[in-house]
Amino acid sequence: MTRVTKAVIPAAGLGTRFLPATKAQPKEMLPVVDKPAIQYVVEEAVAAGIDDILIITGRNKRSLEDHFDRNFELEHQLQSKGKTGDLAEVVELAELADIHFVRQGEPLGLGHAVSVARKHVGNEPFVVMLGDDIMDDHSTVLPDMIKQFDQVGSSIVALMEVPQESISAYGCAAVDQRDGALCRITGIVEKPAAEEAPSNLAVMGRYLFTPDIFAELEHVEPGVGGEIQLTDAIARVLAHDDVYGWVFAEGRYDIGKKIDYLRATVELALQREDLGPEFREFLSEVVRREGIG
């Protein structure tokens, strides 16, 4: 079985749900505690054994490239001030993985962004990781999906049960043959109305694809929002091949919307060994003061 070594991270969206913060910087660079969102995603890929990462960018790509590059001026300053911890951190960041960038050109949708990766990925299985979904350090979703791929040899999509009224914000999968976390996807639809959704299983921004997704993407017509949807390409794969779902329940934080971003920041700060205890005290003080709980 081919080893999964490549990840594609689409980062070309306009981030309109996060204005004004995203007016002049990509939403992937918004910090969650003290790291830009995309760094969590890259670290998750590396922890799962992936060492080749392709970031699909749009406008404003400079800061993304700079973030994963060496910065000799900064390194020199940190060195001369004896800040060895910070120095090690910024140097390590540039050595995390082999990170490549390619431009999407036109913002035609997530499916289109993924299709731009075709040349780089070639004829290999690969993962797609969306930056709106951030996993905590304990999450095993990605390594679990890679492990399952060894068994099933078909594409796998991460799924999570969400309240029925939230399903219209996501891709939604109908499944059968559920055996623990693994199930077989029988149908998939992008952002259905709650009353028409085939299930409450939402697509969660981690996908493991066989390369035949690229051929399907070429035939996808604009769908929801007039965009080329990745979900619609998966639906096309289903016509001739199995696609599996991997259902998980924990360790995922949504940072795509302002309120969920605030939740993610609080939860991930609480989990931090260095900041957690002090932040917890601060939060209890706020709760007392505001008369919450």
Residue whose Cβ sits closest to ligand G1P: 171
Residue 90 CB neighbour total at 10 angstroms: 15
Instruction: Indicate the residue among 110 and 268 with the shorter CB distance to ligand G1P.
Output: 110
CB of 242 to ligand G1P, least distance (A): 19
CB of 17 to ligand G1P, least distance (A): 9
Per CB under 6 A, residues contacting ligand G1P are 110, 130, 132-133, 170-171, 190, 202-205, 229-231, 256
> Are β-strands 243-247 and 155-161 bridged in parallel, bridged antiparallel, or unpaired?
parallel
Residue 247: phi and psi, rounded to 5, are -90, 125
CB of 260 to ligand G1P, least distance (A): 10
Instruction: Indicate the residue among 214 and 253 with the shorter CB distance to ligand G1P.
Output: 253
Q: Which two tokens stand for residue 63?
A: 């800061």
Instruction: Indicate the residue among 78 and 110 with the shorter CB distance to ligand G1P.
Output: 110
CB of 283 to ligand G1P, least distance (A): 27
> DSSP class of residue 199?
-
Instruction: Indicate the residue among 26 and 256 with the shorter CB distance to ligand G1P.
Output: 256
Rounded Cα distance between 213 and 12, Å, is 20
* CB distance 229 to 110 below 8 Å: yes
CB of 205 to ligand G1P, least distance (A): 4
* CB distance 137 to 253 below 8 Å: no
Instruction: Indicate the residue among 18 and 68 with the shorter CB distance to ligand G1P.
Output: 18
Residue 99 CB neighbour total at 10 angstroms: 20
Q: Helix 258-270 to helix 276-290 angle, to the nearest 10 degrees?
A: 130
> DSSP class of residue 220?
P
CB of 224 to ligand G1P, least distance (A): 8
Instruction: Indicate the residue among 125 and 205 with the shorter CB distance to ligand G1P.
Output: 205
3-state secondary structure of 257: coil
Instruction: Indicate the residue among 205 and 245 with the shorter CB distance to ligand G1P.
Output: 205
Q: How many CA atoms lie within 13 A of 118 on its CB side?
A: 13
Residue 259 CB neighbour total at 10 angstroms: 8
Rounded Cα distance between 143 and 140, Å, is 6
CB of 176 to ligand G1P, least distance (A): 20
Q: Which two tokens stand for residue 55?
A: 């970031």
